[in-house]
Structure 1
């Protein structure tokens, strides 16, 4: 790595899906990256190698850390060099078939705030925090939910509230990026396994409306824009323009 020091961006859940694209795009935008992953070290190594290949000047570090575990959060924080300019709280869960009772609330809400607080001493005063979420979670209790997704929507909604209020308390800029279901993403694949009729209904609704579901790249673009450019506190991802702030959309599915 040569030249002036690059600012540091931290991405949770950076080894697959939107997180891996965000890692690559933030590196290309001039950031050194520290990302965490829960398991699958070989997959994380591929993301790191691909990102460094595309952006040789970037310092990219992959850390195995489960954000729901206190010791892992502490170890993750200890691996981050210097001041953090961007924090993307992308890690989420709860749709896994083997998820224990209460896991969605833990990973999508409590652990998000715990990690924000653990990293607070490292965040620069001008740091940007981004919390990606789903239409269904953002609109929880204000729109219909698929029964199979309700626990995740509820927990992500609480996580959004905890992170936003935590950032306000810490004096940090926070942006919530809200997306419809990202077809082909790990979350959409898990939704297919969990409740295929529900995810097929959402695809059919999108096809009938003439507005396609967003892609991984479109959602990642909106997250990076939110992280790197001052803007509104809530950004809705659309397939035609990836960072519009609008009235709350009526669509009702998950990222």
Structure 2
């Protein structure tokens, strides 16, 4: 086998095909990110910016294990919240975690084929979804279809093109940030194209802001490092001892208080005319 950069797709495109070990790692990563105070602040900020009706329906497309849907259901207990994802394994986990929330349900479905009628939803959330799909236009078209006139869509995604773990120009940890963006993200440059994509889909943008998810305590860096080094080992680029050393270095920085993970986010809120 020729050694070189992997041609395997972003596993977040098709989680069910990623294998049991990777699925478990993805579940852990999604829930760990949900516990990150920086991520919580980003989510709470866009919740506060939405025009919430009394009751109504919110749909989260690509909900994963459901942390954002759970938060929305608790934030607005009179709102019916539906979370969907194509991965049966993630929805099973989401249902388990959200089983005690009465206004919340989860369904398995393709992102471009939602189980709701046209013009029947008040809010749609796409949280770190579009950077992991090959055709974001199809997801946005479906969001437009299901929203009522005047309904809002939230698109919140990372600008993975600027993901960094570096403390200096030659920092070997930066290879982990680059490797994660290259192998575990479908479109690292998506954030810069969100406004025209939403306009082309028929939406009118109301809020566009950049935010920074800084990882100083290990809510992102260990995941980026473990995933990236694992792929490099699989590809035969590095050996397991170097991968272990990079993972250990990430932990050393956490313990020493020197970890600096830089992960810019963009949040867009747009309305269906």
- The answer on 1:133 being equivalent to 2:133 is no
- Structure 2 partner of 1:171: 204
Q: Is the 8 A contact 1:10 1:35 kept in 2?
A: yes
CA distance, structure 1, for counterparts of residue 92 and residue 129 of structure 2 = 17
Q: 1:183 to 1:63 in 2, by over 3 A?
A: same
Match of 2:85 in 1: 37
The answer as to 2:74 corresponding to 1:28 is yes
Matching residue within 97, 102, 116 for 1:50: 97
Unmatched runs of 5 consecutive residues or more in structure 1? 68-72, 93-106, 229-255
Write 1 or 2 for the structure with the bigger share of strand: 2
2:56 to 7, 13, 35: 7
SS of the equivalent of 1:76 reads coil
Aligned-partner Cα distance in 1 for 2:222–2:84: 18
What CA RMSD, in Å, does the superposition of the two structures yield over aligned residues? 4.3
Residue among 175, 182, 191 paired with 1:151: 182
SS in 1 for 2:188: helix
Candidates 110, 125, 128, aligned match of 1:87? 125
Unaligned runs of at least 5 residues, structure 2: 1-52, 233-242
Structure with higher Rg: it is: 2
What is the TM-score of this pair, normalised by structure 2?
A: 0.51
User: Deviation at 1:162?
Assistant: 2.9
Tell me, yes or no, if structure 1 residue 116 matches structure 2 residue 164. no
Distance in structure 2 (CA, Å) of the matches to 1:80 and 1:202: 47
Offset at residue 227 of structure 1 (A): 8.7
For 1:199 and 1:115, locate their aligned partners in 2 and report how far apart those are by CA, in whole Å: 35
TM-score (normalised: structure 1): 0.53
Q: Is the 8 A contact 1:27 1:51 kept in 2?
A: no
Name which of 179, 182, 186 aligns with 2:219: 182
Kindly state the Cα deviation for residue 27 of structure 1 after the two structures are TM-superposed. Answer: 0.9
Displacement of 1:28 = 0.5
